[in-house]
Amino acid sequence: MWCSRMALRRLQKIAVTPLNITGSLTSNIQREMSTLPRIYVTRQIPPEGLKILRESGQVQFELWNSDDIPVPRKELLQKVKGVDGLLCTLTEKIDAELLDAAGPNLKVLSTMSVGFDHLSLDELKKRGIRIGYTPEVLTDAVAELTVALLLATSRRLIEATHEAKTGGWGTWRTLWLCGYELANSTVGILGLGRIGVAIAERLAPFKVKKFIYTDVAPRPELASVINAEYVSFDELAKQSDFLAVCCALTPETKEICNKNLFSKMKKTSIFINTSRGGVVNQEDLYEALSTGQIAGAGLDVTVPEPLPTNHPLFTLKNCVILPHIASASYTTRDAMSSLAANNLLLGLRGQPMIKELKL
């Protein structure tokens, strides 16, 4: 497992060594810029990734120079025409329409994300386009945020802050703003991967009694790291005092967290999702929260994103919603952009990517 700081240092070295070019070759490239592979970067990515692209001498690139507003679809379809490579983020839908607009020159796509539900994998496979992505480097940041969100939800921190600011803080009361402790609890993990393990490692010092998980199949090697027990989906729902969703969004997991799951959970259970919004049926979650079927929910991901401010979930005190910030640390985002840039450059050179999604 990569620590994001160590990963960033490794990626910086990779960018200098394998992708380094000689002085004479640099001069030739400067004279013949028009012959370099063309790439389009769909977002103002963190500086380390841009630095790697600029200093590589391997490509000519253009980018949508904004971090606040995604590139408009119409402009994106224009900009990708004839490109050899594409560096995108999860805000861009890479589908048949875009790939048709890009044309046959497009051979490599690098996404600055661990998730790939924004990519039409069948279309990419059909066209023989290689895919780089950025797993592992964000494990620490996502695990930390998940723990923070779990604690904020279970101990009602957002609600308490509001009360303190708005005059609700009166005399001491015996049951006011009481929440739920991790000590002696059972923590369930839906989808045990690197992030699930990292979450459990951070929660263990809170004196959690037991970790349980479910996945498409038992994962004994990962489970042994945290001494987690494999259980069925139903048992995960029934036993978990805290349930953390860490699975990828696939056709099989779409809205897997629905009334069937919530109806089996304890009334004191806390539900946390930092994976993808699409794994949750939000209408069913609203019903479970508003009726007291479960105690609370913390969400870093929703459908759509951003979630409209008039969405019913925002009306609930027992629902904490964050704007998809799980990987939002400076170190992690720089590591992600570095990995995405290196994946793209290596792919264009016909070499193995550092992290390639095999189709």
Which single residue is written with the structure tokens 């409209």?
308
The contacts of residue 173 (CB under 8 Å, 6+ apart) are: none
Alpha-carbon distance of 194 to 23, in angstroms, equals 41
Cα diameter, the chain: 77
φ, ψ of residue 344 to 5 degrees: the values are: -65, -50
Who's near 118: CB < 8 A, 6+ residues apart?
88, 90, 91, 92, 93, 94, 111
Check if the beta carbon of residue 236 is closer than 8 Å to that of residue 212.
yes
Distance of CA 8 to the CA centre of its chain: 18
Lookup: tokens for 221: 């090697």
The residue behind tokens 């802050």 is 161
Active site residue 324: yes
If we measure between CA atoms, which residue out of 216, 279, 270, 277 comes closest to residue 243?
Answer: 270
Structure tokens at 74: 């119409």
- Out of 118, 162, 311, 324, pick the active-site residue: 324
285 contacts 297 by C-beta, under 8 angstroms: yes
Token readout for 21 is: 């070019």
For residue 211, the cross-strand partners are: 187, 228
Rg (CA), the chain: 23
What does the block give as tokens for 193?
């991967």
What distance in Å separates the CA atoms of residue 110 and residue 339, rounded to the nearest whole number? 9
How far is 91 from 305, CA to CA, in rounded Å?
A: 9
Q: Do 48 and 8 contact (CB within 8 A), yes or no?
A: yes
Measured between its terminal Cα atoms, the distance across the chain in Å is 23
Residue 190, beta-bridge partner list? 214, 245
Catalytic residue positions, numbered: 324
